[in-house]
Amino acid sequence: MDSLEQFEADKRSRVAGLADDSELRRQSREWMAASAPHGYTYNFEWLGVPVIQFPQDLVALQEVIWRTRPDWIVETGVAHGGSLVFSASMLELLGGEGKVLGIDIDIREHNRKRLEAHPLFHRIELIEGNAASDDVAARATGMVNGRVLVILDSNHTHKHVLRELQLYSPLVKADGYLVVFDTSIEEAPDELFNDKPWGRGNNPMTAVREFLEGNPRFEVDTDIEARLQITVAPSGWLRCVAD
Ligand SMILES: C[S@@+](CC[C@H](N)C(=O)[O-])C[C@H]1O[C@@H](n2cnc3c(N)ncnc32)[C@H](O)[C@@H]1O
C-alpha cells in the first residue's frame, strides 16, 4: 500500500470510529443547540456576502462540488445570497461554464443589488417565487442541463420540503447529490422553533424519510455526517445511485 492509499485507509477507519461514537454525536447536537440562541450560523460571510450555514457544511459542500463537478447548482432559499456566491466560487475554480440558480419567494432589493454587483454574478441566475410551486419548478427545470446538484434550504416544513424533493430530485442523476439542509431540526430542542411552523415531527428530516421510502434512486451518504459531526444536514446528504 503506498502512502496515499494508507492515508485513505486511515481516514476510512477514523470515519468508521466517528460513525460509531454515539456520545460524540450527542455532544455535537448539544453544542449545536447551545450555539443556536447566539444565532451562530448568521456570523459568516462568503466572499463578502452573508451565508447562513455552519462552516463545516460549507467544507463538505466544497468536497461534493469538486468531486461531482456539476454543470448547474440549484438552491432553494437564497436569503442574502452567500450560499449562491459560495457555489459560484466553486464553479469558477472548476473552470468551465457552470452556473448557479437560486430560488427564493422573497429576494429583498438590497440583497439582489449586492448580488448583482458581485464579481461572480455572471455565474448566478435568480428566480423569485415559491420553490414548491409547479410553475417555478418548471421554469427551473427548463433552465438547467447536464449534471445538477440540488440544495434545499427554504421553508422547512415537512409538506414543503417533500414537495421540493418531488419537484427537484428528477434533476439529479447517478453520482450526483441532493442536499437537504436543516434536517437537524428533528434532533434539536423543540423550544428553539416555538415561533416557526416547523419543529420535531414536521421538518426536512421527516420529509427525507418519506421521500426515501418511495425513491430508491437516493441513499443517505452517512460518511459525510460522520466526518462532520457538526452539520445541519444529518441524513440530508443524499447521493443519487441510479439515473
Ligand atoms: C435559511 S434561509 C436560506 C439561507 C441560504 N441558503 C444561505 O445558506 O445563506 C431561507 C430562505 O428561504 C426563503 N423561503 C421561504 N419560503 C420559501 C418558499 N416557499 N420558496 C422559496 N423560498 C422560500 C426565505 O425567503 C429565506 O430567504
Question: Confidence band (pLDDT; 50, 70, 90) for 233?
Answer: very high
What torsion do the CA atoms of 152, 55, 225, 208 make, to the nearest 10 degrees?
-10
Question: Confidence band (pLDDT; 50, 70, 90) for 1?
Answer: confident
Say if residues 226 and 11 touch (Cβ distance below 8 Å): no
- Residue with CA at minimum distance from ligand 1 atom 11: 77
Does ligand 1 have an atom closer than 6 angstroms to the CB of 207?
Answer: no
Pick from 191, 187, 182: which is nearest to 164 by CA? 182
Mean pLDDT (whole number) for 63-79? 98
CATH number of 3-240: 3.40.50.150
Nearest-Å Rg of the Cα atoms of the chain is 18
* Atom nearest to 154 CA in ligand 1: 12
Average confidence score pLDDT of the chain: 97
What confidence tens digit (pLDDT) does each residue in 158-213 have?
Answer: 999 999 999 999 999 999 999 999 999 999 999 999 999 999 999 999 999 999 99
Does 123 have pLDDT greater than 90?
yes
> Rounded to the nearest whole angstrom, what is the distance from the C-alpha of residue 64 to the centroid of ligand 1?
21
Does ligand 1 have an atom closer than 6 angstroms to the CB of 157?
Answer: no
* Atom nearest to 80 CA in ligand 1: 9
How many other CB atoms sit within 10 Å of the CB of residue 31? 13
- Residue with CA at minimum distance from ligand 1 atom 27: 79
What confidence tens digit (pLDDT) does each residue in 20-43 have?
Answer: 999 999 999 999 999 999 999 999
What confidence tens digit (pLDDT) does each residue in 84-101 have?
Answer: 999 999 999 999 999 999
Mean pLDDT (whole number) for 32-57? 97
Does ligand 1 have an atom closer than 6 angstroms to the CB of 106?
Answer: yes
Strand ranges (E), the chain = 44-46, 49-51, 72-76, 99-104, 124-128, 148-152, 177-180, 218-220, 237-240
Does ligand 1 have an atom closer than 6 angstroms to the CB of 24?
Answer: no
What confidence tens digit (pLDDT) does each residue in 217-228 have?
Answer: 999 999 999 999
Does ligand 1 have an atom closer than 6 angstroms to the CB of 60?
Answer: no
User: Measured between alpha carbons, how far is 236 from 65 in angstroms, rounded to an integer?
Assistant: 16
Does 235 have pLDDT greater than 90?
yes
Mean pLDDT (whole number) for 49-74? 98
Q: Where are the domains of the chain?
A: 3-240
Does ligand 1 have an atom closer than 6 angstroms to the CB of 81?
Answer: no
Q: In this predicted structure, what is the pLDDT of residue 82? A: 98
* Atom nearest to 51 CA in ligand 1: 9
Does ligand 1 have an atom closer than 6 angstroms to the CB of 82?
Answer: yes
Task: Say which residues have a Cβ less than 8 Å from residue 194's Cβ, sequence separation at least 6.
Answer: none
> Rounded to the nearest whole angstrom, what is the distance from the C-alpha of residue 81 to the centroid of ligand 1?
10
Pick from 126, 240, 129: which is nearest to 179 by CA? 240
What confidence tens digit (pLDDT) does each residue in 110-121 have?
Answer: 999 999 999 999
Q: In this predicted structure, what is the pLDDT of residue 87? A: 98
